[in-house]
Structure 1
Amino acid sequence: MSALDDLKAELAKLRDEAKVRVHLGTMEARQEWEEIEAKWNHFVSQAGLHKSGEDIKSALRSLGDELRLAYQRLKNAL
């Protein structure tokens, strides 16, 4: 499994945990969830392209790091 696959698995787990908490949370949390979901969808759609170049890998890692922080922040806020 590649580092990008590991990151995707970690993000999926954080996403699932945050989704449960958002469902029980506030409207503000739901709005943040919608923003994070848009980034998640972009990440997933681009993840298969990581083999096509180092620039894309770097961009995906940055987006993945941003998603990790956002999911953790949302999870901790609820």
Structure 2
Amino acid sequence: MNLQEDLKKLSEKIRQYRDEARVQLHLAREDVKDEWDDLEKDWEKFRNKLDLVLHDAEDATHDAKQTAQRLGEEVRAGYERIRDRLK
């Protein structure tokens, strides 16, 4: 599996965690809502970076791909934390 496929799978997993957390968000306390707002900004950064990497897959540097991977992992972990806190 290559990095591009890994990034697509990561994006799908993030979307799943994000959707699950959004459903439960109305039950959240204010501190969780603040964390959600911060993660939404990071999600947008990740999506923009991912779009650039996937659009220019051949021209994208290895560093750009790794940056997208790292940012995606951080965003995934954030949504996973929120989801787990809401259970």
For these two proteins, the number of residue pairs brought into alignment is: 78
Residue of structure 2 equivalent to 1:37: 40
Taking the aligned partners of 2:47 and 2:26, their CA distance within structure 1 comes to 22
**Structure 1: gaps spanning 5 or more residues:** none
Taking the aligned partners of 1:76 and 1:5, their CA distance within structure 2 comes to 23
Residue of structure 1 equivalent to 2:67: 59
Identity over aligned pairs, percent = 31
Residue of structure 2 equivalent to 1:76: 84
**Structure 2: gaps spanning 5 or more residues:** none
The question of whether the paired residues in 2 share the 8 Å contact of 1:46 and 1:60 is answered with yes
Does residue 16 of structure 2 align to residue 8 of structure 1? no
The Cα shift of 1:23 comes to 2.1
Taking the aligned partners of 1:32 and 1:48, their CA distance within structure 2 comes to 24
The Cα shift of 1:20 comes to 1.3
CA deviations over 1:17-64 (Å, ceiling 9, x no partner): 111122221111110000000000011111122221111110011111
Q: TM-score, length-normalised on structure 2?
A: 0.83
Q: TM-score, length-normalised on structure 1?
A: 0.91
Residue of structure 1 equivalent to 2:27: 24
